[in-house]
Amino acid sequence: MIPKPIEVKTVKPYVISVKYEDMTEGTWDVSYLLSKPIFKKWADEEFFAKVHIDKETFSIAWDEDIELCPDTLYLNIRGLSFEQWQSEQIEYATDK
């Protein structure tokens, strides 16, 4: 299971910092999403600063309409595909 996010905050407009329970952390520039109409709300800096972790789904969220998948962000921060991450987990489990 991919670790859950434990902390998220804005770094600057359209950039968030995310930390996961395995202490993986990194920043993610989400400005590439601005071309999609739903993300136009991010133009309001106060709204963008409201980023949080949804307590039920652990998604990176701003409101009930805007959420990002924490697993996708985790894999992107680590620079891995899901298959690569899965392979790491299998290798780690068999090394014990």
Note the pLDDT tens digit of each residue in 44-56.
Answer: 999 999 999 999 9
| Domain encompassing residue 91 | 5-95
Of residues 69, 73, 70, 66, the one with CA closest to residue 34: 66
CATH number at residue 85: 3.30.2020.10
CA distance 50 to 24: 22
Quickly count: other Cβ atoms within 10 Å of residue 1's Cβ.
5
Whether 34 contacts 14, CB under 8 Å: yes
Q: Total structural domains in the chain?
A: 1
Note the pLDDT tens digit of each residue in 14-45.
Answer: 999 999 999 999 999 999 999 999 999 999 99
